[in-house]
Structure 1
């Protein structure tokens, strides 16, 4: 109440009139203003300022869980998620993103493999389990752009990605070659859905040449590749859809640059609850 009076006074309203409406005396208002603020209240003001800065910096993307880690990093503190949520609610802000249910029909091919991963989405070592998938985006002119990405279950990092106008075998082949070049000697289990690229002879040949084993989701069970689906969901909700609704992507290069910037943010700056507040690259560095 007292804070509201102060704010309205800054806008030009009379203290006397505001106190009368609030049914408190002017003396009580000024005594409250002169009081020594409790430490908790002072901390909340600092936290609120930090939240506002981070909210603006990251275009309103952080929800309270992500914001908690960011605030604690910035202030070198250990505030709980509920406190951050409460302050964000008081400030009237929330993440501009929302979770979306992803439904995908998977396709079988000639060279299939069993679901060796078996939804065991935890990995003790780097380059032990990789997930792969392809998703698509649209430019303002309606032309589609495809992206293949590889996620390491050890730290949820994106170890490689590649864009193309064509959703073909070459897109997948080039992506896995980039991942192998960045991780010499890696021989992980590679899990994917049953898309035609992953059931091709060429893909199987690449895996065999590098000593990698193949695992595939069951038909119609996109949850078998859940973390990969979740990453695509984050990328689209926290970047792609926001830009598309605002001004859209005019060119291929603009889309690639913008989404590549997000992937760098995801790998290097976006703390994750499941990683105890670390970013994927921080956890990867610890295990180096």
Structure 2
């Protein structure tokens, strides 16, 4: 029996983005070292059906959650979703106020109002609430005590960061205000359904080594000082009326995005615009993949003029450029996928990316930076 290959979620997502950008299946398979055409078709079907969570499932695992009620036609499904959106605006947000989290009491009342029309499983999926959490709220409806200050503060922090943080980072923020045990925070977040809703799994990359430029970085992602080691990549933004591309450069010293460009053409001009944003540097290494824009004569010449040493990943090995790949995945997971902005205008797409990069650099804390944001870490180190 042949060995089944497990591909990381990043590979699956990149394959889907390339297909939606018009890249042929054979080119996608060759670039990402995918063995079977049907795998690409399956991932594309999952994406179009809104089953992005299945990208994380291991080989042979079939998830049963998130399948909702059976509908006989697309029209009926859209009617159910429209009814949900109307009730969410007219019912839930009226109770709590626009921009505030819906309370357990409001959730239970709303679920009672749609009983028999939408399954509990589908309604919980729409609300982003676990079924077990809903049933616990329902059972405790008459005996639920007034929220304690710690529970309220945890809920405020989770909402402020749009459920991007797990219990460790929430604990780090709380410890700026009070003494609290991380296990208590974890228990409260689990009981209140406030867990992190962004799940990123990292797995070993696949592919055979093939060098264009020397692989000088060798997955050593630690830098002793700013502008010593930089990584760059381009990612697809298939969320607007037309395809956009994000080119970004990250400083491995503190994980800060120090340069980025957004364009509607994936050409050498896009990466050159990003490169020219860098200040004058000495003894700097810039690492990228083997994309044609990075191997082009114009880009290579610009890199040499800036006195930068070029390094490139091995073919079909995204893990060689893991930090910037992870950032692009995190950006999409914590914005477009988390808030379901998968079909909007190009102007909104660009604004979301700009706002998130500012949030990522200035506000979003990272465990590896002693629970500081990249800019805070750099300023304190200086």
Shorter chain as normaliser: what TM range?
0.7 to 0.9
- Look up the match of 2:56: none
In the aligned structure 2, how far is the partner of 1:203 from the partner of 1:259?
Answer: 24
What per-residue deviation string (whole Å, max 9, x for no partner) do you get for residues 100-134 of structure 1? 5698989989xx31110011111010000000000
TM-score normalised to the size of structure 1? Answer: 0.76
Cα distance in 1 for partners of 2:198, 2:320 equals: 24
Give the distance between the partners of 1:139 and 1:165, measured in 2 at CA.
Answer: 12
Tell me the number of residue pairs that the alignment of Structure 1 and Structure 2 aligns: 245
Kindly report which structure 2 residues correspond to 1:1-288, keeping only aligned pairs within 5 A, or say none: 8=142, 45-73=148-176, 75=177, 77=178, 79-99=180-200, 112-141=212-241, 143-178=242-277, 180=278, 183-185=279-281, 187-243=283-339, 245=340, 247-288=341-382
Give the superposition deviation at 1:99: 1.6
Q: Distance in 1 between matches of 2:288 and 2:370?
A: 27
Is the 8 Å Cα contact of residues 132 and 191 (structure 1) preserved in structure 2?
Answer: yes
**Separation in 2 of the partners of 1:255 and 1:105?**
32
Greater relative CO, 1 or 2 (CA 8 Å, sep 6+): 1
Assess if the C-alpha contact under 8 Å between 1:135 and 1:147 holds in 2: yes
Change (3 A) 1:9 1:189: closer
The TM-score, its normalising length taken from structure 2, stands at 0.58
Query: C-alpha deviations, 1:173-227, integer Å up to 9, x for none?
Result: 001111x1xx344552000110111111111111111110000011111111111
SS at match of 1:198: helix
Separation of aligned partners in 2, 1:65 and 1:196: 40
Instruction: Extract unaligned runs of 5+ from structure 1.
Output: 12-43
The 2-side partners of 1:95 and 1:6 are apart by 23
SS at match of 2:372: coil
Q: Distance in 2 between matches of 1:273 and 1:58?
A: 15
Q: Distance in 2 between matches of 1:249 and 1:105?
A: 33
CA distance in 2, matches of 1:10, 1:121: 48
Q: Aligned pair in 2 of structure 1 residues 117, 81: CA closer, same or farther (>3 Å)?
A: farther
Describe the shift of the 1:93–1:208 C-alpha distance in structure 2 as closer, same or farther (beyond 3 A). same
- Structure 1's 122 and 107: CA in aligned 2 closer, same or farther, altered over 3 A? closer
* Backbone CA RMSD of aligned residues: 3.0
Q: Compute the displacement of 1:69 (Å).
A: 2.4
Relative distance call for 1:10 and 1:156 in structure 2 (3 A) is: closer
Could you say if the C-alpha distance between residues 118 and 79 of structure 1 is closer, same or farther in structure 2, counting changes exceeding 3 Å? farther
SS of 1:160's partner is: strand
Q: CA deviation at 1:65?
A: 2.6
Residues 166 and 9 of structure 1, relative CA distance in 2, 3 Å threshold: same
Task: State the Cα deviation string for residues 3-51 of structure 1 (Å, max 9, x = none).
Answer: x99962579xxxxxxxxxxxxxxxxxxxxxxxxxxxxxxxx94332211
List alignment gaps of at least 5 residues for structure 2: 1-137
